[in-house]
Amino acid sequence: MLMSKLKSALAARRSDFAQNQRGNVAMMFALIALPIFLVVGLAIDASRASLVRYHFQTALDAAALAVGSTYKPHDELETMAQAYVRKNFIVEGTTINRIRLIDNGQELTLSGNFTMNTYFMGLIERGTLDVSNATEVKRAGGGLLVTMVLDNTGSMAGSRIASLRESSQALVNELFSEENNTEDLRVGIVPYAASVNPGSEAEYLLSPFDLSVLDLDNALGWHGCVFERSGLLSTLTDLAPSVLGGYWTPYIYPPGPDNNFNWGDEDSANESYQSNSGTGPNLGCPTPIVPLTNSKGTLDAAIANMKHWNRGGTLTDIGMAWGIRVMTPGNPFNESAEIDPITTGSDTPTSLWDSSRWRKAIVLMTDGESQFYDGYHSDDHDSDITGYGREGTGVAFELYGSSASRSEINTNIASLCQQAKDMGIIVYTVVFTSSVGTDTRTMYEECASDPGKYWYAPDSDALANTFEQIGSDLSRLRITR
């Protein structure tokens, strides 16, 4: 009986023990306590990182705004930005690793990285956390230098030159719109034909022993065009001719079988030059270059005076070379060496050319194939006189040999376009009329800074639209006040 009761009691105890879960709960809690602790700890670290990142972003923003209104060399600006960030971001347990400044003239990007010590991530061998931030601001008051290199050759006669005048005026009107600050704008014009006319600046290019002087009112006077210098065609440096050892010489087309005038009779020189029957010492010499200016009236007058000039051919490479000379600092055209007014009172005054806030652009336009031209095939010459001389002689021979093919001239134009782009100049190209071959159109497309800056205008309406679009695009390069 007693044994039977003991057995029953033991069986009951075994049953109670089997059903008791208090030990299981303790074991389970011990297993999940550490993960819970880690999750909570990670959340705390993450929240702290978010708060610290906000403070770092605020410091970057303040630094970018301060630097964005200052114009100094890049290294000085980056040092200034670093000082601003370190002054405004003081958080215990953090270390700033890097502050980097990118300034493209229009926009300024300031980025940085810092390391933050963590409280709980160290439990999973992550004792620090790297955080990166960036901010971008637009600079105030961007400037723009523009040179328009325009075809004024004989093929532009009639409605074409009228369309070019109208289209060029529309571009200038867009640049000088009320929304734009003209103090931050400089525009130049380079008309080209068989040569280029530096205008009143031309006398600077001549040897002091050269007695030629400008005489615009005299049909037999020198009107300002020049021959390109021998041996210096590969460089566009604007150092004084005397420093280079190579002066330019006055462009004079002498009388002869292909130019029927005489020096003793002013009336024998036909000043109109509006056909191949024109005569005089300035055949193929277009209207003068307009140096960089913010005078709209000066530009308007030059555009209104543009006309087509027969004889000599189309030498776009000469036009492009002078377009770059007008844009870059150094005599004879030194306008881009002007000190940026915003930097005048600073410790480091900066020229328009060197200032990061000034953008540069050239608009190169043609209506035909580049070539030397012979207006009188009955004479003994291979071509008319050009800014390189006659084809196969002198400077023309140095550059192109006995005869210049279209592809050779196009190669020279492409080289000049590349030189401009290498200088940071944005190049727009315009091919006007459908008479231009596909190879030349391809060259002009490749000359442009990108495909969106090449324009093919087969007719006058398309040319007007093209120049309006370029004017609008150039305006967007600026940052208006």
3-state helix, strand, coil in the chain (%, to 5): 40, 20, 40
Instruction: Show Cβ contacts of residue 29 under 8 Å, excluding neighbours closer than 6 positions.
Output: none
pTM (predicted TM-score): 0.73
* pLDDT given at position 10: 46
Instruction: Show Cβ contacts of residue 44 under 8 Å, excluding neighbours closer than 6 positions.
Output: 119, 120
Say how far apart CA 475 and CA 103 lie, in whole Å: 20
Tokens of 307: 């006309």
* pLDDT given at position 121: 61
Domains of the chain in sequence order? 22-138 (3.30.1300), 143-477 (3.40.50.410)
* pLDDT given at position 237: 56
Say how far apart CA 387 and CA 372 lie, in whole Å: 10
Q: What is the 3 state secondary structure string of 277-308?
A: CCCCCCCCCCCCCEEEECCHHHHHHHHHHCCC
* Residue pLDDT tens, the chain, 481 long: 444 544 455 455 555 545 555 555 555 555 565 566 555 655 676 777 788 888 888 888 888 877 776 667 778 888 988 998 888 888 888 888 889 998 765 577 889 998 888 766 655 556 787 888 898 876 555 789 999 999 999 999 999 999 999 999 999 999 998 766 688 899 999 999 999 999 888 777 777 655 556 787 888 988 999 998 876 555 555 555 655 556 788 899 999 989 989 998 988 988 666 678 889 999 999 999 999 999 999 999 999 999 999 988 999 999 999 999 999 998 788 899 999 887 776 667 889 999 878 889 999 999 989 999 988 776 778 899 999 999 999 889 988 988 889 899 999 999 999 999 999 999 999 999 888 888 899 999 999 999 999 999 999 999 999 999 999 888 877 643 3
Torsion, Cα 185 191 196 197, to 10 degrees, reads -70
Cβ-contact 262, 398 below 8 angstroms: no
